[in-house]
């Protein structure tokens, strides 16, 4: 900490507090937990002390997590009352558990009485989410006051749930003339809104005082309620954008098309990009394949995997999804023992992701029908995570049944090693998302040398290099969003290229229209390009550099904030 | 929605003389006697000034500007043959502008019936087919395009018409997004007619009518409609690809320039681009069928009921239509000027003027009515087609009563002599069983 006049500012970023609702290996639904886990781990490897704060989600009550995280109770009790709009007071009592995950510290915020525990310790991450975020704020408020001598150099808030806690801490410290930069990362916009009372001192704790807010080119003095109601229309994410010193998101496309459209492009000069990353690598996958199958030939492995589906036993966790699948099992190649009927050898398209409208599986299956009309032995394996959209699931089953000999619909958790092997063995990954902030599955696929055919949306436009645009460095195809016909055409081209390479058959290239490729092994080059691109740009050790740069900019912006009061 | 198709209906009819009954004419050229050339010219020139030239210039500029910026702005046009005839006479500059649009390759010209007629509703589709072929020919000659998308007059759609269009080689058919056929499905997808290869695009009439009807309504809670607001609505709409289809005259004629409609047209593609919504064309999505669909009802884009009753819904319209069908075969026998003028009578507008009704639909019909009232229209139009028919019969020395072909109880084509009778049977085999009545009719 350095003193400027009467203010204290961090010199450098050595200690970071992260606030999140998800961390992989503790409580995670998918992308957010994975990103927070990896960021914390990699920052720690760079010598930065990271402490991750999150609601306990009841994990501290479970023996496995207690020992896995080496949890211990911290001797701090935060008690108080929140005042409702009904003028009644609602007491809360909050405690903390401290533990370690990998090389960083975890602080779980837990309830110490029934009513608080009911919210903070609820096992499902997003149960009573507004209340969880509010009580998390109250807990962290108390934690800061008990640890005023051990303050961080930066607060990193992940997604909207962390906005109010982070801003409350910022406020608490600013009142004490300590300026701590706040970075707010938007992994996915949720557009959640609430009346000012929710954030206010009565409920979550933010006092309605004047403070400086960055407005495009200078700081203006506003009350918190004004920023909430008038500037943000009650949207928590907008509020976070006004109040944080720096905003980061997962791709330029997401920033410019989605975040700007929601928040306004005035945040341009206080925003940065931090891609998601992966640890997957083609070398690791190759070694695994050699170890298990004695070959690293993708075609051979593909044949083996497709003829071993009768040994793949996957059951969805969600009862209703399982029930729907079971009742239609004979139509979709699902066997009575929850294994799958084998598929014959052929070029293999892979789909991974949740079965939700966003992911566009309905579009892919329609495109697949057009593909199969021309390439009869094309195969599609869907590794889907059921997401309780049963209307969509019915449609997916109907479409799958239409091309039963070519598609297997596999819903549920797959062993992660096997999952990687399917990626290694496939001809291409299809990512037919209608929108996609980043699209980590495309990056994971490319990491093991699997080219991607995706709709040109969101982060996919930045992770994938279109072969047409850049034949030397192309990693796949970007397709007009939501066009079934274009998706089918590009999948067909990819299959012809892939088959030409696998079979060394140059005649297949003549079937490709609108693209001139003369080299039968071109798809192998695309595979190498894909793996190289991930190594250069999307491995966590690379990604973390841009985050550190972003931290530095947040510190600069915090300095401007400090100087605004002079 | 990530993709939107926006297009315009461009049509002008040849209007029957509004005083034909009260001041019949017998000495001018055939067209001028029955049709009000002067009024038709005045209307065309007025709309050309207010809409065709400024709106087309804006579209051309939008396309060119977008090209420079690396975006794509695309529109489709469904231009009737009668419009092109009028433009050829009174607005060559309009045709030249449309030709410039075609050079950009960012514009699709749809096929329709040359005379924008209701002949698709006739039991015998022969005349309809001829008018569609004529229209394909004129689009080819002006714009060097072979349309693969078909829009039947006023979106009048039923399964039979779609099947006929498919037989004629069309791959895409534009229809109204009515609940009757969609049955709860979203209009914002491409569908395939069940058991066929032809695809269907359904007009999103809510979004279309926001522009066409509500744009300048000050008592509308969404007034004023800005391009950014409208682009927001499109981008947050659920679906795969939406269709907005309005009369071209919306821009500067139905809503005058001072309403800001032309600015709206200029800014809409820019605002769509900002939201990542791609402008596409029917010819680009015919292979994007999302689901199959059955078409069980006759639908159109007119009025609240959205069916054929705006043109064939009351006794005046049925009588006028019967008279028009009576004149078909004599006109074809006489050919040339008679056939051309007769075809002007088939134009849907002449039927539309005869609509009786109340409330909103009647107001809309009244706005578009070239006559004072439906009854006024009927007196003059019916008299005109009757005089026209009787002159033809006189010229052909026909003194007998007609033979009225029927099919499943519905009155179809009408023959006046043996030649015409045989012609009808030759062109539509479904009428072959009428041969047994031939001798009786001829009195032999």
Distance CA(A481)–CA(A466), nearest Å, equals 14
Residue B3's pLDDT band (boundaries 50, 70, 90)? very high
- How close, in Å, is residue B286 to chain A by CA atoms? 8
Q: Provide mean pLDDT across the span A94-103.
A: 97
- C-beta atoms of B287 and A363 within 8 A: no
- C-beta atoms of B290 and A366 within 8 A: yes
Q: Provide mean pLDDT across the span A3-31.
A: 90
Q: Give the pLDDT confidence of B127-182 residue by residue, as tens digits.
A: 999 999 999 999 999 999 999 999 999 999 999 999 999 999 999 999 999 999 99
- How close, in Å, is residue A435 to chain B by CA atoms? 9
- C-beta atoms of A363 and B240 within 8 A: yes
Distance CA(B190)–CA(B184), nearest Å, equals 15
B contact test, residue of A483, A486, A487, A492 with most B CBs within 10 A = A483
Residue B166 bears catalytic tag: no
Chain A interface includes B45 (CB < 8 A): no
Selecting from B1, B241, B275 the residue whose C-beta is nearest the C-beta of A261 gives B275
Q: Provide mean pLDDT across the span A451-478.
A: 96
Chain B interface includes A480 (CB < 8 A): yes
Distance CA(A362)–CA(A355), nearest Å, equals 9
Is B303's pLDDT higher than 90? no
Residue B370's pLDDT is: 76
* Active-site position among B127, B154, B166, B392: B154
pTM for this predicted structure: 0.84
The answer for A 361-390 residues in CB contact with B (under 8 A) is: 362-363, 366, 370
How many Cβ contacts (< 8 angstroms) between chains A and B? Answer: 40
Distance CA(A507)–CA(B164), nearest Å, equals 40
- C-beta atoms of B241 and A480 within 8 A: no
- C-beta atoms of A484 and B287 within 8 A: yes
The answer for A 279-338 residues in CB contact with B (under 8 A) is: none
Residue B195's region, left for phi above 0, alpha for psi from -120 to 50, else beta, is: left
Distance CA(A443)–CA(A531), nearest Å, equals 9
Average pLDDT value for chain B: 95
A390 versus A3: the higher-pLDDT residue is A390
Residues of B in contact with A484 (CB under 8 A): 190, 240, 287-290
**Closest chain B residue by Cα to residue A480:** B278
- C-beta atoms of B3 and A366 within 8 A: no
Q: Give the pLDDT confidence of B211-224 residue by residue, as tens digits.
A: 999 999 999 999 99
Residue A178's pLDDT is: 93
Residues of A in contact with B2 (CB under 8 A): 434, 457, 481-482
Q: Provide mean pLDDT across the span B35-61.
A: 97
Query: Could you count the other beta carbons within 10 Å of the beta carbon of residue A42?
Result: 25
Query: DSSP string covering A348-407, please?
Result: EEEEEEESSGGGTHHHHHHHHHHHHHH-TT-EEEEEEE--S-HHHHHHHHHHHHHTTTTE
Indicate the range of A67-71, B232-236, B265-269, B273-277 predicted with least confidence.
B273-277
Beta strand B190-193 with B242-247 is unpaired
Query: DSSP string covering A437-480, please?
Result: SS-HHHHHHHHTT--EEEES-TTHHHH--BTTT-TTT--EEEE-
Chain A interface includes B3 (CB < 8 A): yes
Residue whose entry in the numeric block shows the structure tokens 């979106």: B155
- How close, in Å, is residue A501 to chain B by CA atoms? 29
Query: DSSP string covering A250-284, please?
Result: S-HHIIIIIIHHHH-GGGGGGEEE----B---HHH
Residue A566's pLDDT is: 65
Chain B interface includes A457 (CB < 8 A): yes
pLDDT above 90 covers a percentage of chain A that reads 89
Is A538's pLDDT higher than 70? yes
Residue A387's pLDDT band (boundaries 50, 70, 90)? confident
- C-beta atoms of B288 and A261 within 8 A: no
- How close, in Å, is residue A132 to chain B by CA atoms? 30
- C-beta atoms of A257 and B275 within 8 A: yes
**Closest chain A residue by Cα to residue B287:** A485
Chain B interface includes A456 (CB < 8 A): no
Q: Map B169-234 to HEC letters.
A: CCCEEEEECCHHHHCCCCCCCEEEECCCCCEEEEECHHHHHHHHCCCCCCCCCCCCCCHHHHHHHH
Chain B interface includes A483 (CB < 8 A): yes
Is B444's pLDDT higher than 70? no
Is A19's pLDDT higher than 90? yes
- C-beta atoms of A484 and B289 within 8 A: yes
Is B318's pLDDT higher than 90? yes
Q: Give the pLDDT confidence of B356-403 residue by residue, as tens digits.
A: 876 667 777 677 777 889 999 999 999 999 999 999 999 999 999 999
Q: Provide mean pLDDT across the span A111-124.
A: 96
- C-beta atoms of A481 and B278 within 8 A: yes
Helix H or strand E encompassing B119? none
Q: Give the pLDDT confidence of A405-419 residue by residue, as tens digits.
A: 999 999 998 998 999
- How close, in Å, is residue A481 to chain B by CA atoms? 7
- C-beta atoms of A485 and B278 within 8 A: no
- How close, in Å, is residue A433 to chain B by CA atoms? 11
Residue B394's pLDDT is: 97
Q: Give the pLDDT confidence of A229-282 residue by residue, as tens digits.
A: 999 999 999 999 999 999 999 999 899 888 998 999 899 999 999 999 999 999
**Closest-CA residue to B346 (of B165, B148, B139, B114):** B114
Is B421's pLDDT higher than 80? yes
- How close, in Å, is residue A333 to chain B by CA atoms? 23
Chain A interface includes B197 (CB < 8 A): no
Residues of B in contact with A363 (CB under 8 A): 240, 290
């Amino acid at each position: 900490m350095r003193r400027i006049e009467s203010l204290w500012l961090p010199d450098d970023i050595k200690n970071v507090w992260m606030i999140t609702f998800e961390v992989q290996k503790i409580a995670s639904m998918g992308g957010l937990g994975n990103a927070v886990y990896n960021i914390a781990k990699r920052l720690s490897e760079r010598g930065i002390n990271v402490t991750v704060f999150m609601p306990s989600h009841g994990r501290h009550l479970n023996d496995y997590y207690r020992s896995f995280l080496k949890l211990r109770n911290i001797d701090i009790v935060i008690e108080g009352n929140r005042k409702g709009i009904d003028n009644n007071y609602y007491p809360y009592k909050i405690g903390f558990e401290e533990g370690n995950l990998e090389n960083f510290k975890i602080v779980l915020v837990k309830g110490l009485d029934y009513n608080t525990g009911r919210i903070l310790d609820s096992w499902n991450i997003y149960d009573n989410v507004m209340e969880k975020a509010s009580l998390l704020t109250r807990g962290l408020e108390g934690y800061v006051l008990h640890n005023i001598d051990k303050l961080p150099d930066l607060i990193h808030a992940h997604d909207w749930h962390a906005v109010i806690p982070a801003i409350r801490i910022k406020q608490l410290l600013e009142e004490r003339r300590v300026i701590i930069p706040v970075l707010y990362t938007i992994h996915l916009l949720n557009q959640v809104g609430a009346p000012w009372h929710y954030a206010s001192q009565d409920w979550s704790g933010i006092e309605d005082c004047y403070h400086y807010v960055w407005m495009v080119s200078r700081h203006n003095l506003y009350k918190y309620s004004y920023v909430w109601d008038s500037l943000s229309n009650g949207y928590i994410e907008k509020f976070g954008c006004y109040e944080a010193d720096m905003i980061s998101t997962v791709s330029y496309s997401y920033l410019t098309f989605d975040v700007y459209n929601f928040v306004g492009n005035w945040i341009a000069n206080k925003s940065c990009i931090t891609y998601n990353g992966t640890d997957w690598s083609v070398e690791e996958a190759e070694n695994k394949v050699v170890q298990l199958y004695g070959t690293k030939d993708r075609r051979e492995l593909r044949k083996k995997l497709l003829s071993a589906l009768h040994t793949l036993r996957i059951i969805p966790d969600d009862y209703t999804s399982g029930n729907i699948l079971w009742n239609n099992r004979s139509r979709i190649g699902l066997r009575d023992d929850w294994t799958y009927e084998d598929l014959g050898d052929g070029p293999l398209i892979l789909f991974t992701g949740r079965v939700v409208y966003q992911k566009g599986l309905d579009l892919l299956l329609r495109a697949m029908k057009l593909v199969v009309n021309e390439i009869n032995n094309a195969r599609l394996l869907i590794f889907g995570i059921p997401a309780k959209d049963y209307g969509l699931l019915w449609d997916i089953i109907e479409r799958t049944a239409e091309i039963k000999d070519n598609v297997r619909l596999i819903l549920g958790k797959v062993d992660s090693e096997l999952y990687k092997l399917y990626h290694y063995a496939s001809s291409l990954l299809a990512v037919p998302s209608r929108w996609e902030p980043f699209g980590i599955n495309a990056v994971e696929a490319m990491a093991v040398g699997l080219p991607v055919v995706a709709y040109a949306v969101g982060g996919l436009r930045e992770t994938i290099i279109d072969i047409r645009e850049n034949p030397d460095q192309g990693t796949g195809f970007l397709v007009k969003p939501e066009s079934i016909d274009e998706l089918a055409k590009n999948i067909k081209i990819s299959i012809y290229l892939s088959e030409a390479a696998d079979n060394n058959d140059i005649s297949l290239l003549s079937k490709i229209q609108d693209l001139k490729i003369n080299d039968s092994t071109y798809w192998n080059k695309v595979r190498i390009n894909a793996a190289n691109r991930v190594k250069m740009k999307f491995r966590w050790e690379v990604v973390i550099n841009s985050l550190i740069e972003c931290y530095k900019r947040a510190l600069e912006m915090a300095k401007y904030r400090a100087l605004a009061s002079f | 929605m990530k993709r939107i198709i926006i297009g315009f209906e461009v049509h002008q009819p040849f209007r029957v003389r509004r005083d034909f009954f009260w001041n019949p004419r017998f000495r001018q050229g055939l067209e001028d006697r029955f049709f009000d050339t002067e009024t038709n010219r005045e209307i065309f020139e007025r709309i050309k000034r207010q809409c065709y030239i400024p709106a087309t210039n804006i579209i051309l500029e939008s396309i060119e500007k977008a090209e420079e910026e690396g975006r794509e702005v695309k529109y489709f046009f469904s231009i009737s043959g009668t419009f092109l005839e009028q433009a050829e006479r009174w607005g060559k500059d309009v045709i030249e502008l449309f030709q410039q649009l075609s050079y950009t390759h960012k514009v699709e010209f749809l096929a329709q019936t040359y005379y924008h007629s209701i002949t698709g509703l006739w039991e015998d589709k022969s005349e309809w087919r001829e008018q569609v072929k004529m229209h394909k020919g004129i689009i080819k000659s002006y714009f060097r395009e072979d349309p693969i998308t078909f829009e039947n007059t006023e979106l009048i759609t039923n399964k039979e018409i779609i099947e006929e269009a498919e037989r004629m080689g069309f791959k895409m058919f534009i229809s109204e997004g009515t609940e009757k056929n969609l049955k709860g499905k979203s209009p914002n997808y491409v569908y395939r007619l069940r058991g066929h290869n032809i695809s269907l695009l359904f007009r999103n009439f809510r979004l279309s009518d926001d522009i066409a009807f509500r744009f300048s309504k000050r008592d509308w809670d969404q007034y004023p409609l800005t391009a950014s607001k409208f682009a927001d609505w499109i981008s947050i709409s659920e679906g795969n690809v939406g269709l907005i289809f309005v009369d071209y005259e919306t821009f500067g004629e139905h809503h005058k320039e001072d309403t800001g409609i032309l600015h709206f047209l200029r800014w809409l593609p820019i605002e769509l681009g900002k939201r990542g919504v791609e402008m596409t064309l029917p010819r680009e999505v015919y292979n994007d069928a999302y689901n199959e669909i059955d078409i069980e009802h006759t639908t159109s884009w007119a009025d609240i009921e959205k069916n054929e009753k705006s043109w064939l819904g009351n006794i005046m319209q049925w009588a006028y239509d019967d008279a028009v069908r009576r004149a078909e075969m004599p006109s074809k026998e006489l050919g040339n000027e008679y056939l051309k003028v007769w075809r002007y009578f088939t134009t849907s507008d002449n039927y539309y003027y005869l609509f009786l009704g109340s409330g909103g639909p009647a107001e809309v019909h009244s706005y578009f009515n070239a006559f004072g009232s439906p009854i006024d229209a009927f007196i003059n139009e019916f008299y005109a087609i009757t005089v026209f028919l009787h002159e033809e019969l006189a010229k052909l020395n026909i003194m007998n009563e007609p033979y009225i072909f029927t099919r499943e109880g519905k009155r179809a084509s009408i023959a006046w002599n043996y030649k015409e009778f045989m012609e009808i049977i030759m062109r539509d085999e479904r009428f072959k069983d009428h041969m047994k009545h031939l001798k009786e009719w001829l009195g032999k």
